[in-house]
Structure 1
């Protein structure tokens, strides 16, 4: 209650109250890492005002340098209100209290779900283009995305090897994840799909991984060399003994969190690693 009254007081004292309008927004605030990056790509000049602090985190964002050109927010309702947005971009998992408060104060909020594959990347870009009044720009981005994806897929090796993505606490993923689409596009078979797994955050005990013996095991750079209990499994002696350096692949964390045109940079990089390792075998 105190928090709500504080925000209302700020609105009155500031002499403004967001007006619901679906005209092209010209003061857009993004409070989610994934909408940060897509908005920086889709928004027109001067349209995007603020992005979240995560956009400056090199372990999470691929657009750190671009993010420096915008006001930085910390996804707090009181802070966002003071920025006088005519549109707020958020994720479906953004704090419920923050979203609810912003909506009660009359702010237009558009929420976007996490990416579950290439189709959702296309859908989000096109939807963002519609929301921002930048439909043509969004269509051009999707067209370029599809053209490059086709080029990458043409380079896939004829013989596909099996890759497992393996993360802290023995988590992996299966069909219906962005990682699955990326791994398949690079030319691998995905162990998660081979085992009938669906979605992310699926537990795969180390014994199961070794028993299925994929050709390669992939981890994110953020977790390599970590000392946390969650990451200890990634340095387990059995994992190191079974999957030596020639069968381990480390990818850049930031490119695997959110979907966008930059996702294909990660797919192309994974494919280069794959082809290089196969030449050495």
Structure 2
């Protein structure tokens, strides 16, 4: 009986070790950074991507301060020897020189809907050893979205970017538009996920709103100049940080709140 209990205890120890939370996690992508920061202990984060502290691209830039960021990914990852790597997605040659199967890798496709974000939160939360944090984050996001006020005015909107690119249907931006009560102009025009729409075509389409990235509000180059053309001046604008929409993640809630606030603030 004693021998059986000893063997059972040993088996339990081995099982616990096999499922222990990773101690050195590296993220190779600014989108994965945001999940990792939200769900892992700081002590588990060995390094974040090179863009982790860039406020233009990362909604978690402030939280990334004080954490290591990668400069030469392949060399540094080899030196860190992480037990988990997050990326979007990770191909076989992303970390050059790494022996096959040396590390656990979780590759995540770009989230194109809120439901995809929730799936990824659960995946990352399990991978970093904190599934309960994932459920708490999801509950908080659901609660905040349920509390969104109604938009006082809807209409057709175009997410119009530098050089005349418009974000189409089947994207995270499209999902956001539907959530706040807007109709994506790209759908009415039959455009794909990303299409270049000339200024003349945009003027002729007569959208009720233009959603633009806050970094494009001022003219800084030829790419942003067309967004300030006098022909578009009469179209009301909703400015949102690029970091809220470039990735799936907790910032989805901030984006929805921000768009609703700007819709309701317009007179």
**Structure 1 residues 141 and 216: alpha-carbon distance in aligned structure 2, compared to 1, 3 A threshold:** same
Structure 1 residue 126 corresponds to structure 2 residue 119? no
8 Å CA contact retained: 2:153, 2:263: no
- The alignment of Structure 1 onto Structure 2 pairs a total of residues equal to 250
More helix by share: 1
- Within 5 Å, which residues of 2 pair with 1:58-207? 58-74=55-71, 76-92=73-89, 97-99=93-95, 101-102=97-98, 104=100, 106-152=102-148, 155-157=149-151, 160-199=154-193, 201-207=194-200
**Structure 1 residues 183 and 59: alpha-carbon distance in aligned structure 2, compared to 1, 3 A threshold:** same
8 Å CA contact retained: 1:221, 1:250: yes
Structure 1 residue 105: deviation in Å?
Answer: 6.9
**Structure 1 residues 189 and 79: alpha-carbon distance in aligned structure 2, compared to 1, 3 A threshold:** same
Structure 1 residue 141: deviation in Å?
Answer: 1.0
Report the TM-score when normalising by structure 1.
0.81
**Structure 1 residues 157 and 249: alpha-carbon distance in aligned structure 2, compared to 1, 3 A threshold:** closer
8 Å CA contact retained: 1:129, 1:138: yes
Counterpart-to-counterpart distance in 2, 1:202 and 1:103? 40
8 Å CA contact retained: 2:151, 2:263: no
Of 232, 250, 263, 2:252 maps to 263
Structure 1 residue 27 corresponds to structure 2 residue 24? yes
Report the TM-score when normalising by structure 2.
0.85
Shift >4 Å, 4+ stretches? none
In structure 1, stretches of 5+ residues that fail to align are: 1-20
**Structure 1 residues 25 and 107: alpha-carbon distance in aligned structure 2, compared to 1, 3 A threshold:** same
Structure 1 residue 214 corresponds to structure 2 residue 207? yes
Counterpart-to-counterpart distance in 1, 2:98 and 2:216? 35
In structure 2, stretches of 5+ residues that fail to align are: 1-17
